Amino acid sequence: MAAAGGAQAHWSSRFAFLMASVGFAVGLGNIWRFPYVTGENGGAAFVLIYLACAFGIGVPILMAELLVGRRGQGSAPTAMAAVAAEGGKSRQWQWVGGMGLLAAFTIEIVYAGVVGWVLWYLFKAVTTGFVGVDAVAASSDFTAVLADNTGMLFWTLVGLAITGLIIYSGVKDGIERAVSFMMPLMFLLLLGLATYNFFAGGFSEAVAWLFTPDFSKITGATVLAAIGQAFFSIGVAMGGMMTYGSYLPRSISISQSVIIIVFADTLVAILAGLVIFPAVFNNGLDPAAGAGLIFQTLPVAFAQMPGGYGFSILFFLMLAVAGITSMVGLVECITAWMEDRHGMARHKSAMLVIGTVAVLSVLSILSYNVLQDLNLGSGNLNDTLDYFSNQILLPLGGLLIAVFVGWFMTREAAADELHSLKSPLLFGLWRFLLRFVVPPALLIIFILGVTE
């Protein structure tokens, strides 16, 4: 039985849960970052190491987070406290769940603005198709975007309004309906755009960039990059997966679902590479443009390629879907906590969370221009929030979740939640990885993050 009960919402099907979880895991960062990091670190050789890290580190900790959520039947802090109390441990473990909510909140403040850029560029794609845009024009256009506070705020609020409407409508009427439509749409767009690139040119160069193994590039730094990519791209330690786990019926296998989530997350990243890099190579552009690839480099490719108008619209629509579904997970975990902690109605808590993020996102927007020189120790506000969440809260939170489930949660409770994992050998392997492999790996990420 679960450690805590209550009138808890539940996913109506495994499909809905998987779409929500994959949508939360697949964000803007891993769509452009994974293909680039892969190409720079040995292609297929890096992919093999990444897969080993994803399944050796990502799978065990994601299983741990989901089973705590389902066992505790509540938001991340509530679930951690309930599971700890069930095993005779201190309810102060709730602060680990609280770290996840803080990470989600800080990430959302900056992320909402980036999703606003995507929506703005989707509008630009529809209205102009980037016709006649060259490298100078694309760079100037993005610079103008960063200087236009009114425009950035408007599109940020559009993204938050869409997210808020989904959260406001509840788990089944809001999140389920949205992701059950949006995620298949995203997959179809990815497949369609990759197929288009197969015929449009640059596809073979992209395949070579991503999948030609170069083991000479494999170093200790490469392995650490793979560990970090595997951990961050799956979306653990942000409270979202634990909250989604609390909605998971016992009839749905956690272990099987996690394998699907990690596989789908990796597949999206690879397909994204086959969408982005053929256009880059076919137009003689720089594949090492990093984050600027999306907003400064690709518009040049859209202007030059046959059918670039339609391609640009579908591409930014795909990115918008990825951004919105990630924001839904980030906001939902905080909304669920407001309901748990303060007994607030979902409608009220959703509006409060969205409204707070909207107000603080103004400071994030201003950090691209007016406040860009305001130094807070790690740079301006956006740099500081990014450092605080990604270098401190996420690896430390993931480490503590692994330690809690591996060493403090009773073996019997964990086995009960992983009841579909019939083989004692597989359960033992999962517990071994969670206790002896995941914590050292995340400790290394944390130490490197705070000392670099």
| For residues 252-256, average pLDDT | 96
Distance of CA 158 to the CA centre of its chain: 20
Q: Tell me how crowded residue 9 is: count the other CB atoms within 10 A of its CB.
A: 15
pLDDT for the residue 7: 57
Res. 8: pLDDT tops 70: yes
Q: What is the mean pLDDT of residues 103-121?
A: 97
pLDDT over 70, % of the chain: 98
Residue 6 pLDDT:
43
Both tokens of residue 165? 């409407």
Residue 370, C-beta contacts closer than 8 angstroms, at least 6 positions apart: 149
Residue 82: how many CB atoms within 10 A of its CB?
A: 22
Of 128-132, 293-297, 448-452, the one with minimum mean pLDDT is 448-452
Residue type present at position 359: V
3-state secondary structure of 408: helix
Question: Does residue 1 register a pLDDT over 50?
Answer: no
Among residues 122, 117, 171, 114, which one has the least CA distance to residue 331?
Answer: 171
Domains of the chain: 14-38+45-193+215-274+288-451 (1.20.1740)
Mean pLDDT of 395-420: 96
DSSP state of 171: I
pLDDT tens digit sequence for 318-342: 999 999 999 999 999 999 999 999 9
d(CA 86, CA 442): 27
Question: What is the number of alpha carbons within 13 Å of residue 48 lying toward its C-beta?
Answer: 10
Q: pTM, whole model, 2 decimals?
A: 0.95
Residue 25 in this model has a pLDDT that exceeds 70: yes
Q: Which of 204-218, 328-342, 404-418, 432-446 bottoms out in mean pLDDT, i.e. has the lowest?
A: 204-218
> Residue 177 phi/psi, 5° resolution?
-60, -40
How confident is the model at residue 220, as a pLDDT?
Answer: 87
* DSSP summary character for residue 249: -
Tell me, what's the pLDDT at 3?
A: 41
Residue 437 φ/ψ, nearest 5 degrees:
-110, -50
What span, in angstroms and rounded, lies between the C-alpha atoms of 238 and 260?
20
**pLDDT tens per residue, range 34-78:** 888 888 888 889 999 999 999 999 999 999 999 999 999 999 999
Mean pLDDT of 2-17: 75
Averaged pLDDT, 187-216 = 91
Q: Which residue has the higher pLDDT, 2 or 291?
A: 291
pLDDT computed for residue 159 by the predictor = 98
pLDDT tens digits, 372-400: 988 887 789 999 999 999 999 999 999 99
Collect contacts of 139-146 with beta carbons under 8 A, ≥24 apart. 139/296, 141/299, 142/292, 142/295, 142/296, 145/117, 145/120, 145/295, 146/368, 146/369
